[in-house]
Chain A
Amino acid sequence: MDLVCPAGNLPALKGAVDHGANAVYMGFRDDTNARSFPGLNFSEGNARDGIRYAHDKGTRVYVAINTYPQPGGFARWQAAVDHAAELGVDALIIADMAVLDYAMRAHPDLPRHLSVQGSASNYEAIRFYHEEFGVRRVVLPRVLSLSQVARVIDQVPVEVEVFGFGGLCVMVEGRCTLSSYATGQSPNSCGVCSPASAVRWTETEQGLESRLGELLIDRYGKGEHAGYPTICKGRYAVGDATYYAIEEPSSLNTLELLPELQAMGVRAIKIEGRQRSPAYVRQVAKVWREALDAVAHDPDGFTLRAEWLAALGKVAEGAQTTLGAYHRPWQ
């Protein structure tokens, strides 16, 4: 199984390459990718340097062009595809059908991966993207159980990549507009979820409040860890209870499932977090490289090492990790 690591900037890319990533994924500095955050992503010069650095060390580079263009902006997505091809990247990660179609016609030999934002949660959907747009790999939404992942792999003629670690979307990716409902900007339309420009922090008598636009997402008492106000991770009142009504703040960590994921034929493990620091990328890449080597060498003897969990625990979002949808009771 390949290790696919996030590269939000050049130092993160180098960290991932140096610590054993088989591939890194990046985006350009605009809304053509789903992490269109201020200060993140690659200018033309940085992209060239990063790609050269990765290729010199045998690491592949994927470019995410995985938001949904609206008519007025379509030329920007075409330009991003052409630019990535000209830079000599190894694959494009795309969600929108029209962008897939353009890439297939303009650069037929450049592999196309279906982004998790493409929202293909079953093998009939994946077959469609393969038949129509020659998609070579699919990144699965984080809503499938282990047995459902296995079933998909059995039924599709493409490689399957799954998320292994990092922030967790509890909603099926590519079809969530909670963010634009509150702020006007969503991952699909603008490449952002709960954009920083809409976030407000206020110290009040009741505690520290986080808002998106006018909406109160959470309020923290003294000593409580305050998280970023992503809508699905806020506390709300439902009936008589106020609680994390959608999802407890936690990170996905599937390290313990590696033998099963390998046995069912998963082609690559994706690490979330292009918005995270270079230190996060280095730390996570290092642990997952060791774990993937261990499971490849001896799947039956694979055991979790305490130092892996300690290292990942330091960089996880929130205090806890979860197996997410892979773990049946979670569903």
Chain B
Amino acid sequence: MTRVVPTLPRLTLGPVQYHWPRERLEAFYAEVAAGPAEVVYLGESVCSKRRALRLDDWLAFGEQLAEAGKEVVLSSLALIEAESELKALRRLCANGKFRVEANDIGAVRLLAEQGVPFVAGPAVNIYNQHTLALLAHKGLSRWVMPFELSRSTLAEILADAPEGVETEVTVYGRIPLAWSARCFTARHHNLPKDACDEVCERYPDGLLVRTREEEPFLAFNGIQTQSAQTYALAGEIADMAGLGVDLVRIYPQAEGTDAVLATFAGLRDGQLAADAAQVALEQRMPVGPCRGYWYGEPGIAADTKVVS
């Protein structure tokens, strides 16, 4: 019997989670256009009070990236409460050009209503193959696995996954752990949320939260709380391909995203060994690594047994 060699996963770049000024984003996406990411997710997915860029600005980035040969997807806001946010969501879903990553069930409804294929982001709770099939029936064409799910759960889901649905797994980035009506960055500065001065712009990788023993634990990114540690699965990519993972996601960080992408490209193309890749990645992290979720352990765990 011939063994089917799995296709290597494509590299995707998740949306920028942080509040970066326009100039920084322009420089960043110019670099991305020339880099190895094949799919690029764009847009403000965390806070509607960040007004540096409008939908038209994101669409302009999208055009540039599409010209450079990238597949472009627009990411929607994860926590939608206000009518103004729903209005912005309707405009995003009706952009007519690029696929949308739904990060909330409200977005799923709007996209299903239009009958357009959509991506379900990691903030959509897909914990089993039945939910995946229900959403596929509504137009889901790709899903990004929720962070807290493990390899063994993914294997079970993919053993029974609906036809024609692509699977994306995050392999690098600080983990979005929670969203709130409250802004913890503004709270740190004693600012009310509705007069926040967009103070989160001062923290291009989030604001580090340490325990009282100085151990890095979380990072505040406005209304989003992230892990301080950076999720990194380098040696696991070959295994993912075997499971049927189609795409692997890297989240942007303030410095060195190009090097991180290059490391994953080298790993994927067999030019870089897993150990060397892991070392290279750890040099780029704001604090340090974690990878427990993939192994069914506490997410913060870094010292896990590699399963094959």
Which residues does A use to contact B, with CB under 8 Å? Answer: 68-72, 74, 95-98, 101-102, 119-125, 127-129, 131-132, 143-145, 148, 151, 170-172, 174-178, 180-184, 186, 188-189, 213, 215-219, 232, 234-239, 241-242, 245-247, 325, 328-331
Contact = CB atoms under 8 A, between A and B. Distances in A.
Interface string B80-91: 111101100100
B22 interface: no
Contacts of A241: 188
Contacts of A329: 192
Given A71-B129, A98-B131, A125 B106 contact: yes
B178 A124 contact: no
Interface in B164-202: 175, 177-184, 187-188, 192-194
Contacts of B6: none
Given A98-B130, A124-B106, A127-B109, 6 more contacts: A74-B130, A144-B81, A181-B175, A215-B215, A238-B188, A238-B210
B242 to A, nearest CB: 18
Interface stretch (B63-71, B149-157, B262-270): B149-157
Contacts, number: 204
Nearest to B175: A181
16 contacts: A68-B127, A74-B128, A101-B134, A124-B109, A125-B80, A125-B105, A128-B105, A171-B178, A171-B225, A174-B125, A175-B123, A175-B178, A184-B292, A238-B188, A238-B207, A246-B225
Q: Which 8 A-B pairs have the closest CB atoms?
A: A98-B130, A124-B106, A71-B156, A143-B181, A68-B127, A181-B299, A128-B109, A125-B105
Contact of A128 (B108, B210, B292): B108
A217 B138 CA distance: 42
Nearest to A97: B131
Contacts of B138: 132
Contacts of B215: 215-216
A180 B148 contact: yes
Contacts of A101: 130, 134
Interface of B: 78-83, 85-86, 89, 104-110, 112, 123, 125, 127-131, 134-135, 138, 147-149, 153, 156-157, 159-160, 175, 177-184, 187-188, 192-194, 207-215, 217-218, 220, 225, 227, 292-293, 296-300
Nearest to A119: B125
B78 to A, nearest CB: 7
Given A172-B180, A241-B188, A177 B299 contact: yes
Contacts of B125: 68, 95-96, 119, 174-175, 188
B160 to A, nearest CB: 7
A237 B209 contact: yes
Given A175-B125, A189-B127, A70 B153 contact: yes
A175 B285 CA distance: 25
B78 A175 contact: yes
Nearest to A73: B128
Given A178-B225, A181-B227, A188-B127, A143 B180 contact: yes
B118 to A, nearest CB: 13
